[in-house]
Chain A
Amino acid sequence: MRRRWLSVLQRYPHLLEWGYRVTLAMFRGLRPLMARLGYNRVARLLVPVERWSKGAIFGCQMCGQCTLHATGMTCPMTCPKNLRNGPCGGVRPNGHCEVIPEMPCVWVQAYERSQHMPIFGPEIRHIQPPLDHRLAGTSAWVNLITGRAQDTGIVWGEHE
């Protein structure tokens, strides 16, 4: 596993979600500039930054489709089964992972943290679509701003 020497920040999910909100607003504001510089060039700069910062805090696996705010500011890709929609049925009675017994279940933590997130906490109930594996290793921020993260080329419409 990647070293997560800033993971202590995860004890403050409300601060992290606030940080997420600020970063999102910043990138939205910078969008025209990013477009002018070229998204590819910006992505080349951002990838190492994202890898370092999100890696140190969340153990980010660089899936390129960041959903942290909807998963209790806890990276679902650190779940050994990469589950994006909640815990499997194998969680141990002590709240630890079925696969790695010494690790707390990612989704038990995600749920607890989401309870302390007034802005995005309830989004943990949303259904997350399947990943686009072509985006692995790319910049999630650029993908979000360009819409690439949302438009993965699959049919994933509303029912009823």
Chain B
Amino acid sequence: MNKLVAGSRLERVLRSGRFAVTAELNPPDSADPEAVYERALVLSEVCDAINVTDAASARVHMSSIAACALLVRAGYEPVLQLTCRDRNRIALQGDLLGAAALGIRNVLCLTGDDVSAGDQPQAKRVFDLDSIQLLYMARQMRDKGVFLSGRRLEVSPKFFLGAAANPFAPPWEWRPYRLAKKVAAGAEFIQTQLCYDVERFRAFMQRVRDLGLHERVYILVGVGPLRSLKTAEYMRTRVPGVYIPDSVVDRLRRAGSPQRQREEGKRICVEIIQQVKEIPGVAGVHVMAYAQEELVAEVIQEAGLLPRPLQPARAHAGAPNLSNRRAGAYEAS
């Protein structure tokens, strides 16, 4: 598990045995690159890689490849989320080559939320491949240097390949085996759905260890602060695959005022991070909160996960100079 396949920062942090932290960035509803940089600024120094969503919940935003390319230009380390919802296999292979050419080194292969989850349910769903087939194909492109047709690539894309797991959705007993399938297909790191039920996750990890999977794949636990009771209610009813137990919702309800709810949501998240960190086989956390980058940064800090290792000197040619603004942002938070 120690040979580098892509040499990305995320890969180096994980293979060196350090506890990894990634954070999620939702691309803006904007054609302005500044909007991406503003969000990245808050996250850049609190995580090892910035994970860019691909029209999450089937709501359109700036494309994840474009947003990742902007991050690369600014010297950040992106993880490209790539879903099968909007692209057939021809587009996916082209995008994988393009992403590698743009300097993207980490790819998270996803099936994707259904079009019906978003605000344009009229759209045609593609799902030509599923996430496991996408993973397998990306790995063949990297390791065998071929397209799905067998046609040879001149230069193969070097990716650190990831996949998702949801230990909190039925069929629970099968979820560890599904993870095994993803590992067999080529997953090198795993990012789980948001964890609010530590006991369920503990049971999942027990099975994962029984199967020996924790030695073959790095598992990052998805965590996220709930900003308010309203957010919690929205997420548990409207966001596919998110499970929030009543005990968590009750804690937010008891907190009272919006400001106290925000603090309580953060405290719950920090507690979950501290608990999952102790579970054998957990290699890191992935922190996400939709359009709440400051909150994510605060959680990572309060969970005692700073400073991050292997921070690069950001002096890439053509990158915008963000150094002054970055310092400013940190004083503010």
Q: A residues touching B (Cβ–Cβ < 8 Å)?
A: 80-95, 98-99, 105, 107-108, 111-112, 125, 127-131, 133, 153-157, 159
Contact = CB atoms under 8 A, between A and B. Distances in A.
A154 B114 contact: no
A95 B171 contact: yes
A84 B170 contact: no
B169 A91 contact: yes
A124 to B, nearest CB: 8
Interface of B: 89, 111, 113-114, 116-117, 125, 127-133, 136-137, 139-140, 143-144, 146-150, 164-166, 169-171, 173-174, 177-178, 180-181, 184-186, 193, 240-241, 243
B133 to A, nearest CB: 5
30 contacts: A81-B111, A81-B127, A83-B127, A83-B130, A84-B130, A85-B133, A86-B174, A86-B181, A87-B178, A89-B164, A89-B165, A89-B166, A89-B169, A90-B169, A91-B166, A91-B170, A93-B169, A93-B243, A99-B116, A105-B170, A125-B180, A129-B133, A130-B128, A130-B129, A130-B137, A153-B149, A154-B148, A155-B147, A159-B139, A159-B143
Given A81-B130, A89-B241, A90-B113, A111 B169 contact: no
B144 A88 contact: no
A108 B170 contact: yes
B53 to A, nearest CB: 14
Given A89-B169, A98-B241, A130-B128, 13 more contacts: A84-B133, A86-B181, A87-B169, A87-B171, A88-B131, A98-B117, A105-B171, A129-B133, A130-B133, A153-B149, A154-B148, A154-B149, A156-B136
Contacts of A107: 171
The secondary-structure label for the interface of chain A is loop
**Which of A81, A108, A125 neighbours the largest number of chain B CB atoms within 10 Å of its CB?**
A81
A148 B173 CA distance: 35
A122 to B, nearest CB: 10
Contacts of A154: 148-150
Contacts of B186: 159
A86 B148 contact: no
B171 A81 contact: no
A155 B143 CA distance: 13
Contacts of A128: 133
Contacts of A156: 136, 140, 148
Contacts of A155: 140, 144, 146-150
Nearest to A126: B181
Given A80-B125, A130-B148, A98 B143 contact: no
A98 B114 contact: yes
Given A85-B130, A130-B128, A155-B144, A93 B240 contact: no
A14 B148 CA distance: 36
A111 B171 contact: yes
Given A86-B132, A93-B243, A127 B181 contact: yes
Contact of A112 (B129, B146, B171, B240): B171
Contacts of B177: 125
A31 B193 CA distance: 48
Nearest to A94: B170
A127 B116 CA distance: 27
Nearest to A96: B170
Contact of A83 (B111, B150, B174, B185): B111
